[in-house]
Structure 1
């Protein structure tokens, strides 16, 4: 995992987390809203519905 700081404003920071995965790099822009879904709620959604939420991380 790598964090790259993009900009700052006072105490606020904007950046990018990079995760190295077997299928390639995965990026999450920060600050990030991370929705929390239980296994049951995500299991009840189709892959298209999960993707349509627009979240970068679950």
Structure 2
């Protein structure tokens, strides 16, 4: 049976590493919560939605 040391390099992260990464990411992104979405991002999202609708009609 493979343990954590034997699965290294196969995309495995132990629970402790996942928790540490999650905490760090929350600290980094916390200041962004509540910030407005930039207009450029909204434009890209709307363009994607239009494309998806066009493809849905032609399917």
Q: TM-score range by the shorter chain?
A: under 0.3
Calculate the TM-score normalised by the size of structure 1: 0.18
- Whose strand fraction is larger, Structure 1's or Structure 2's? 1
Looking at both structures, which has the greater relative contact order when contacts are Cα pairs under 8 Å and sequence separation is at least 6?
1
Q: Look at both structures and tell me which one has the larger radius of gyration over its CA atoms.
A: 2
- Whose helix fraction is larger, Structure 1's or Structure 2's? 2
